[in-house]
Amino acid sequence: MTEPIRIAGLTVRYGRSTACRDVSLCVAPGSVYALLGRNGAGKSSLVRCLLGEQRPSAGRTLLFGADAWTTRKAAMARIGVVPEEPDAPPGMTARDLSDFCRRIYPRWDAAAVMARLQRFGVPPKTPFGRLSKGQKGEVMLALALGHAPETLILDDPTLGLDVVARSALYDEIVGELADRGTTVFVTTHDLAGFEGIVTRVGILEEGKLILDEEMEALKARFRRIRYANRLTETRTAFGTELDAFDAVRVRVRGWGIEAIVANFDEAAFERFRAIDGVDDASAEAIPLEEIFLAVAGKEKKAGQ
């Protein structure tokens, strides 16, 4: 089956500045791909190219196997989009917007759109310009799902949403995944909220894709290791006992050492526990947010 999304060697330049540099990735049907990155990492440029709104400087973005730049109109009939900044004519109500979309999409389900707005608590007759930012985002999601798209592209969809609105958004996305197997591509800062449904993760850093991995494998190899070390004073923070685990962050505490490692292995950990000077060693899984900070955050290895 053709991947809904494939990006091949994507490069985006603005004059002398490069926003994306030779990025390649693919999104499998029915999966949830989360693209992470700090502000300015290149996520927005990538999404614009993916939606056929911007022509890449080099490389290609493919939607359902076809070039996004040259076949955008056909692809949009199969895709729902929630932009980072909700945008619609300020005088139109949510009902007006739904009626407008009904003329464009043959499979438009106005009743489903109104039902979603009711669940969100968004008044359908209030002009868009008078809605809160969170309500505008909820209108965008309801409209994006109105034609039962095969693929949903979300550009930081929880930005500006309160806790209740974020929860409602997750419920709708989970429902789409369960009911129709909708493919989801999301850029987000809300790592905790999406962690439970993401199947694959990509991380952009200064325009380069530095990580592209299945979520299950990523969570399995990153761990927090804590242990007391009777020999701490004679070893550096990146002592030899951690070499097997590819430590990405190490802190010496008053009670011992805490490390985030990127290459955890159960057998290696048992050997680690037997090292002279290592006492009371424990290992625990860490959330996606901590993995992201370890990989792309400000805090790097000593000396980097």
Query: What are 117-171's pLDDT values in tens digits?
Result: 999 999 999 999 999 988 999 999 999 999 999 999 999 888 778 888 888 888 8
How much is the average pLDDT of 78-105? Answer: 95
What radius of gyration do the chain's Cα atoms show?
A: 23
* Predicted pLDDT at 303: 36
Facing residues of 258 across strands?
A: 226, 251
* Predicted pLDDT at 176: 84
Q: What share of the chain is helix, strand, coil (3-state, %, to 5)?
A: 35, 30, 35
What percent of the chain has pLDDT above 90?
A: 68
Say how far apart CA 67 and CA 55 lie, in whole Å: 10
Helix ranges (DSSP H) in 121-190: 133-144, 163-180
Is the alpha carbon torsion for 286, 287, 291, 296 positive or negative? negative
How much is the average pLDDT of 195-205? Answer: 94
Of the candidates 5, 2, 46, the residue with the CA atom closest to the CA atom of residue 23: 46
Maximum Cα–Cα distance across the chain: 73
| Residue 278 in tokens | 């290592």
pLDDT at 261 over 70: yes
Q: Which helix (H) or strand (E) holds 57?
A: none
Say how far apart CA 126 and CA 254 lie, in whole Å: 58
Query: What are 13-72's pLDDT values in tens digits?
Result: 999 999 999 999 999 999 999 999 998 899 999 999 999 999 999 999 999 999 999 999
